[in-house]
Structure 1
Amino acid sequence: MVSRRGKPLSPDVKKLTVSVKQYFDRVKIEPKEPSVKRTADALGLGIATVKRIMASYNRDPKLLEEEGRMRGRPVHAVDVSHQEAVRTYVRNANNNGEYITLADIMNFLKEEYADESFHKATLARALNRWGFEFGKGTRTQHLKEKDHVVAARQRYLREKRSNRDNGNETATRRPEIYLDESYVNKNHSNDFIWYYGEDGPWVQKPTGNGERFIVLNAITQSGWIPGSKLVFKSTKKTGDYHGQMNWDLFKKWFAEMLLPNIPKNSLIIMDNASYHNILSEHSPPTSQSSKKKIKDWLEQNKIYCRDDCLKAELVEVLKKIAPEPIYAIDEIAANHGHKVLRTPPYHPELQPIETCWGVVKNHVARNCDFTMKNLAVQLDAGFDKVTEKTCKAIISRVRKTEDEFWTSCLRMEAQ
């Protein structure tokens, strides 16, 4: 195979295709088969690709010298790994009173990640997903974080800081448990290898991501929680791994594999995945609840509503009087003497287990042979790479990030 699906063809590959096609035109081989198909089979190309190359050659042989262009819609999605760098850039600009626009952020990303392309409209949508908004500042319009994101982060940081033992830099009043879910694909491997230039790379990576394992686990400063690792094979090859997770699976893992293995009176920290936030039967309804549930709850609390009220009207009343929702997982934890704390939205840098996943996946990528059997072996070996020393260093670095957020928010508020 001389090319990978979805990659533009180089001039050398096009010239080779023409030469092979002309060879098969001259040499008749039994059983008779069209030379286009034989060329496609020999080079690992599609028949339509061979025809397209030959059409260009017959039109003008010089066209083969042109670099190939990506076919179809270009990939413009902004990787979530850039979120932390963008947030730091925007906050520093806000703190310095600088006028900042979408074009400024585009230029910043192009300088930081020269090998990647960024589409302006897609970047704008990504910023909105990450909790930023373009609004009126004290002197002029500027890009800033959304108020609900800032408020959620401040509440989270206040809770984390109150759990610190000020007499010891790393100690906490309640043990802190960080849990998360992730996944790793069978074909997860390094894209770059060393090879002899004249020979070219011999390693042929399969197209697609392949089958995958979904993983649940949790860490403390001492490393992985013993007995809490759950690995299972996904039944879907595409889509986000969250589609394979659900409340019943998460609740069973939480109750049977996590809670029995963590210290007493722990602070359990998790993100806002939908299956983490299933409402308790004792919870007041939310705006996402059915109209009947909202109406029944209001009437149970002596707020009687007209029969012709729209759901939007009921939600308006609900927001004024309803207490905070109660989540089922919080009740389960509380019944065992623990407390749940959720990281603010769009802040993966405040969740140290995210870095642990990176360590595990890097090991898998370096030792990939594109089989599920080896993936299971390397996944276990990757977990062994995350030691107590690793976790302490990561959590210490996250604590410094928490302090930076806390002090910078207070400093910006005072301006």
Structure 2
Amino acid sequence: MHNIYYIYSTLVEKILTSSSTKAAIKEWLKVHKISFEEIMLNNKLFQIITRIKPKKSYIGDQFTEYYGHRLLCLPPYHLIFIPIELIWAIVKNYYNRYSGRGGYSNQNCLNLWKEALSKITPSVCISLIRHIEEEIDKWYNLEQVFNRLEINSLIINLTSISESDSD
């Protein structure tokens, strides 16, 4: 059984787009030893890339696979799946609840942040991870139910409504 880590990832190689500069496209073609004519227009050069463009590859995937692990890519903007976001929420809530206690000096603020961070113990982290795993399972199961449902499209033909219907 492989361990699962929750991490952000970046592309191994930047993916060019149709708005990439001609110089960037030519450089990419040269690096990949793909021949082209120097006088070709940008759109023709980009057509070459789209025909042979490699699959997206992420540094995190390569790193974790090298060490025998699997990378779990989470959907963006679903903060309930990201442990550090829940941890940060706990710390901020604690700080906000007790801010002003003892005054607003720099030292008091720093001490309060340290106190708030001390609330994140290993048992809190384990609890948050379990909670997130339950959420992922719940969302996955809901997605499976949704995929099994037969949803008939609803089509309303507005041109067939007569004037008497609208009265």
TM over 0.5: yes
Q: Deviations over 1:264-322 (max 9, x none)?
A: xxx3x234xxxx53x55xx3643275432322323534352562422x55445434422
CA contact (8 A) 2:92 2:116 kept: yes
Q: Distance in 2 between matches of 1:334 and 1:381?
A: 34
Task: Look up the equivalent residue of 2:7 and give its one-letter code.
Answer: M
Q: Deviations over 1:102-123 (max 9, x none)?
A: xxxxxxxxxxxxxxxxxxxxxx
**1:334 to partner: Cα distance:** 5.5
Q: Deviations over 1:12-36 (max 9, x none)?
A: xxxxxxxxxxxxxxxxxxxxxxxxx
SS in structure 1 of the partner of residue 55 of structure 2: coil
Q: Distance in 1 between matches of 2:35 and 2:16?
A: 16
Alignment of 1:295 with 2:16, yes or no, is no
**Bigger helix share:** 2
Number of the residue aligned with 1:304: 36
Alignment of 1:388 with 2:119, yes or no, is no
How many aligned residue pairs are there?
143
**1:329 to partner: Cα distance:** 6.4
**1:401 to partner: Cα distance:** 1.6
Going from structure 1 to structure 2, the CA distance change for 1:345 and 1:335 (only over 3 Å counts) comes to: closer
Alignment of 1:323 with 2:60, yes or no, is no
Residue pairs, 1:17-166, within 5 angstroms? none
Alignment of 1:270 with 2:35, yes or no, is no
Task: Look up the equivalent residue of 2:23 and give its one-letter code.
Answer: K
Number of the residue aligned with 1:210: none
Alignment of 1:361 with 2:122, yes or no, is no
CA contact (8 A) 2:36 2:45 kept: no
Going from structure 1 to structure 2, the CA distance change for 1:309 and 1:324 (only over 3 Å counts) comes to: same
Q: Distance in 1 between matches of 2:130 and 2:46?
A: 42
Going from structure 1 to structure 2, the CA distance change for 1:405 and 1:304 (only over 3 Å counts) comes to: farther
Q: Distance in 1 between matches of 2:131 and 2:15?
A: 38
Percent of pairs identical after alignment? 22
Q: Point out where structure 2 has 5 or more consecutive residues left out of the alignment.
A: 150-167
**1:364 to partner: Cα distance:** 0.9
Number of the residue aligned with 1:21: none
SS in structure 2 of the partner of residue 345 of structure 1: coil
TM normalised by structure 1 equals: 0.30
Q: Among 55, 78, 90, which residue is 1:347 paired with?
A: 78
Higher relative contact order by CA 8 Å / sep ≥ 6: 1 or 2? 2
TM normalised by structure 2 equals: 0.64
Going from structure 1 to structure 2, the CA distance change for 1:387 and 1:294 (only over 3 Å counts) comes to: same
CA contact (8 A) 1:284 1:297 kept: no
Number of the residue aligned with 2:158: none
Alignment of 1:408 with 2:142, yes or no, is yes
Q: Distance in 2 between matches of 1:297 and 1:328?
A: 19
Q: Distance in 2 between matches of 1:374 and 1:315?
A: 57
Q: Distance in 2 between matches of 1:377 and 1:338?
A: 41
Q: CA RMSD in A?
A: 3.3
Q: Deviations over 1:348-379 (max 9, x none)?
A: 11102211111111111122233332222111
Going from structure 1 to structure 2, the CA distance change for 1:289 and 1:324 (only over 3 Å counts) comes to: farther
Task: Look up the equivalent residue of 1:270 and give its one-letter code.
Answer: I
Number of the residue aligned with 1:376: 110
CA contact (8 A) 2:7 2:60 kept: no
Q: Distance in 2 between matches of 1:347 and 1:305?
A: 46
Going from structure 1 to structure 2, the CA distance change for 1:305 and 1:373 (only over 3 Å counts) comes to: farther
**1:336 to partner: Cα distance:** 8.1
Task: Look up the equivalent residue of 2:49 and give its one-letter code.
Answer: L
Q: Distance in 1 between matches of 2:65 and 2:143?
A: 35
**1:344 to partner: Cα distance:** 2.1
Q: Among 3, 7, 16, which residue is 1:286 paired with?
A: 16
Deviates most, 390-399 or 296-305: 296-305
Going from structure 1 to structure 2, the CA distance change for 1:358 and 1:285 (only over 3 Å counts) comes to: closer
Q: Deviations over 1:241-276 (max 9, x none)?
A: xxxxxxxxxxxxxxxxxxxxxxxxxx3x234xxxx5
Q: Distance in 1 between matches of 2:148 and 2:64?
A: 37
